[in-house]
Structure 1
């Protein structure tokens, strides 16, 4: 058995970040077992903008706070992996829009289900009351630190 951390050994931001990394690793391991092992955490920043829209590369670059070249490179990689495709705009065939492929939509569904199973496992392990109180505190911290609007808009950016 491993030795637990003393909560005083880490500041709150680092602790929350490390919990997030560990949760992400658990979800990624489950995704890998389902055939989505080529997905990386950075792909999630792009995926969030494809859930409810089919943006252009320019739109994605602006939302991700990166150059068009960087956004194009990210999409080219996701296309190569089979998660996205570029489709002509229905109103202007010169404009290309980025959309999920069937594999991309399946990956989103698999990730959502993996996160739901992780949440259920943690709720079972720590009890609903303590787990829900911990989540509520994290939401309050996010709000206090100004992160809530970006989460609501699906506009979370990678750390700079």
Structure 2
């Protein structure tokens, strides 16, 4: 049996820790902007609603979870004012979900918070930021993670 790889050499653990830390920073900034009732997992749903109204079934398929799971999240987000549900014009049994003005404001707050955290990280990296970013981009592209991100197929 070989000794476990030191944490300093474990890219998976380092990326996991960095992701958790930066997500916590973004979440804190979003809360300061007045959206403290949003959870990071809500962002997966919101990503699909930026493309326009979606039915519960469409969202469930895109998120890879049950329609009941999506409905629960949508009801909670509707109660908080981020989304609205209306009957589908083609089928009154179906509900169409869309972002409200508050939902769009939360998206803008999230983008602003991520930009702030990005600036802080680049400042820490200094002159090596470009080379590091190129390497991370290469990893994301080679592993398929970039495609998952850009095609909005990341799963909660």
Q: What stretches of structure 1 of length at least 5 have no aligned partner? A: 1-6
How much does 1:9 deviate? Answer: 1.4
Q: Is the counterpart of residue 130 in structure 1 residue 123 in structure 2?
A: no
With over 3 angstroms needed to count, the CA separation of the structure-2 counterparts of 1:155 and 1:53, relative to structure 1, is farther
Task: Provide, for residues 51-99 of structure 1, a one-character-per-residue CA deviation record: whole Å limited to 9, x for no partner.
Answer: 112110000000111111111111111111111111344x426242111
TM-score between the two structures when normalised by the length of structure 1: 0.86
* 1:1-160 correspondence runs (5 A): 8-10=6-8, 11-89=10-88, 91-92=89-90, 94=92, 95-127=94-126, 129-158=127-156
CA positional deviation for 1:124 = 2.3
TM normalised by structure 2 equals: 0.88
Question: Which structure is higher in helix share?
Answer: 2
- Cα RMSD between the aligned structures? 1.7
Q: Distance in 2 between matches of 1:98 and 1:75?
A: 8
Structure 2 residue runs without a partner (length 5+): none
Separation in structure 2 between the aligned mates of residue 154 and residue 49 of structure 1, nearest angstrom? 7
